[in-house]
Chains A and B, each alone.
Chain A
Amino acid sequence: MDKWPRLDRRQFLALVSALGLALGAGGVATGVLVISDGNPLLPGFRLDPDALRHVAERYLADHPVEKSAEFLERELLAAVAASGAGKSLVDAIAIAVRRDFAAGNTVVLDGWILSRTEVRLWVLQALNQG
């Protein structure tokens, strides 16, 4: 049975937030991205607060309908649910990211070709930062 649809918003945000905290703050951006290889959230990137804001601005300019934490949470939960049966949240997100690439469900930001799921995670983090 799939475990993620049972997460409520508060739980989900707490987990995403915990993931971000677990990544630490020592990264160095190359452009806007910082790789987080060596972290369970393979192969995702983590961003510092400035980069998060930048990504959110760029993405939401092209996708204004997504400027809603509720919308993003719903989409992310659905993506995670589709790939998360029997997995940890971290694994489920990683699988969702890979599935995005396999399906060509990508977003171009500053030239980087990225998974829509990972970009939505950043945008959600940025919205939650205010």
Chain B
Amino acid sequence: MIASASAAAGKPDQPFDVCIVGSGPAGITVARSLPKSLSIALVEAGGFDYEADSQKSYEGDTVGLPPDYLSTTRSRLFGGSSFCWGGVCRPLDAYDLERKDWLPASIAWPFGREELLPYYDRASKQLGLQSFFADGRDRRALTRDGAHSEGLVLVPFQHSDPTLRFGTEYRDELVRAENITLFLHANAMAFDSAPGGDVQALAVVDKARQRSRIAARYFVLATGGIENARILLNSTGAHPAGLGNRHDQLGRYFMSHTPIWGAGQIVFADTPARDMEARLRATKGRICLSLDDDIKRRERLLNLGLALQYGRRQRLYRGERQVAKLREQLLKLGIGLNLGAGDGGKNDFVERAVAGFAKSTGQGEAALFSFFALPEATPDPNNRVTLSTRTDDYGMRRVSVRFRTSEQEAHNLERSLGLIANRLGGQALGRIRIEFNAHDPAARIADQHHMGTTRMHDDPRRGVVDRDCIVHGTRNLFVAGSSVFPSAGFANPTFTIIALAHRIADHLARSARSQGGARHG
């Protein structure tokens, strides 16, 4: 059902079992995965549709980011940022979860990737994807003439196709669900905590600027990588520096991927090219070339994916000069008048003829792929979310976000590209062309992936949430979303966000069961 926030305020003695703050992929996944026996308050700052006034609450101060970065990289409505999601899915690599002792701010995830595998499979099922882990689909060696190459792997992505818009797909289900109360236009301001640390209620403000409190036994904060930190920083009742911020970790280690578009080209020799094409077809989308984990560990490299672009592949024998030459030869013979653009776009004959011509001159089917580079995002304590002195229309302090890329990342990127070049050339697989300067900050601009601001570590001096994504110092406040990522790899984060949301739901359901349920009524 849909309710106004003020309706909940009248029932402080009848808390919900669970209050989920945010209705994006993380929040909705938790809501749908919890047992129907639990009463759930699902709190969304926006409505069912995009509203410019609501979106403005994301605005804040930025350093090293475009001025409109904060308000253009999130969607503040029911369904959240699934509305600006590209649907690209890929689990993190095992290597991504490891601590890199040569990277100062690096910490390991509190668990290995095997912990995530069942949740990744649940996410795959939810999104209509194949399992990433059946039959070794996770990654493949690049092959040439049937032999595996050394040091290079192909890393497939899958697409949620059509991209799952959570707000569209699950709206009716969640509105009809008897155990779920949906609060729209309820702007979360802060958590109210008891002296012992547990959260008692969420303070919200509605469109009419009316303040309310939503009480619950458990809370799940799922408002995105920046807003999660913002709400905790604004929750100063238990600790003046913010909830979970006893050790000044909250808001730090903000990470964003910095994809490099038009990064270069790779020309692959004959059989690797065909291998690549087949895999691109199989994945219906993106496939990345990457160094294998052993090399990355040995050489102390960050992860890097070179995303080969399907559809921009060019067979070299289809060059204009050869087409022209062939056309000229055929015209001399009085045939081939249908060649080229004048044939209504049906160029199959041209392709076959040119292919035969090319082969007759000794050329194979080597192919040119453009690629964009996906460097791993790295944690830096100075890249952080803090509170601005300015407030939004609801009286909540806005954020200030600082983000800089580092020279270490640039050097690391260069080194990785050099090793990829050497392995391509050294095994007669192909050649690479780099068309950007890794040291140029303008080449590496933060994208819409916000990660790391409430990172996960069992030691509260090093993280904001524990391995179960519970905020340190509390027992009933979970954080869902990429803000808990200690590291980010190069994979798009939404798939891991959804997997972690399933994991949180499992944990929360167990906790709620062990303590007994109490339906809101």
Contacts and interface: CB of A to CB of B under 8 A. Distances in A.
Interface of A: 22-24, 26-31, 33-39, 42-43, 45, 94, 97-102, 104, 106, 108, 110-115
Contacts of A99: 426
B316 A34 contact: yes
Interface string B403-423: 000000000000001100111
Given A30-B314, A114-B431, A37 B426 contact: no
A104 to B, nearest CB: 6
B425 A26 contact: no
A14 to B, nearest CB: 20
Nearest to B428: A43
Interface string B266-287: 0101100000000000000000
Contacts of A108: 434
Interface stretch (B101-109, B119-127, B360-368): B360-368
Given A26-B322, A97-B425, A111 B435 contact: yes
Helix, strand, loop or mixed for chain B's interface?
A: mixed
Given A23-B362, A37-B363, A38-B364, A28 B320 contact: yes
Given A28-B316, A39-B362, A104-B422, 16 more contacts: A23-B362, A26-B357, A26-B363, A31-B433, A33-B431, A35-B316, A37-B364, A37-B366, A38-B359, A38-B364, A97-B425, A101-B425, A102-B426, A113-B425, A113-B431, A113-B433
B427 A112 contact: no
Interface of B: 264-265, 267, 269-270, 314, 316-317, 319-322, 325, 357-359, 361-366, 368, 417-418, 421-435
A30 B316 contact: yes
A112 B425 contact: no
B269 A42 contact: yes
Nearest to A114: B431
Contacts of B368: 30
A34 B270 CA distance: 13
Contacts of B364: 35, 37-38
4 closest residue pairs by CB, A with B: A28-B319, A38-B364, A101-B425, A101-B426
Nearest to A25: B361
A97 B433 CA distance: 17
A111 B207 CA distance: 55
B433 A115 contact: no
Given A28-B320, A28-B321, A106 B422 contact: yes
A61 B364 CA distance: 33
B361 A26 contact: yes
A42 B269 CA distance: 9
Nearest to B419: A104
B363 A104 contact: no
A37 B269 contact: yes
B358 A113 contact: no
Contacts of A104: 418, 422
Contacts of A29: 319
Nearest to B322: A28
A24 B153 CA distance: 34
Given A28-B320, A37-B270, A43 B433 contact: no
Nearest to B359: A38
A23 B361 CA distance: 8
Given A37-B269, A112-B433, A113-B418, A106 B362 contact: no
Contacts of B427: 98
A102 B422 contact: yes
A46 to B, nearest CB: 10
Contacts of A35: 267, 269, 316, 363-364, 366, 430-431
Contacts of A102: 422, 426
Contacts of B366: 35, 37-38
Contacts of A112: 431-433
A38 B358 CA distance: 10
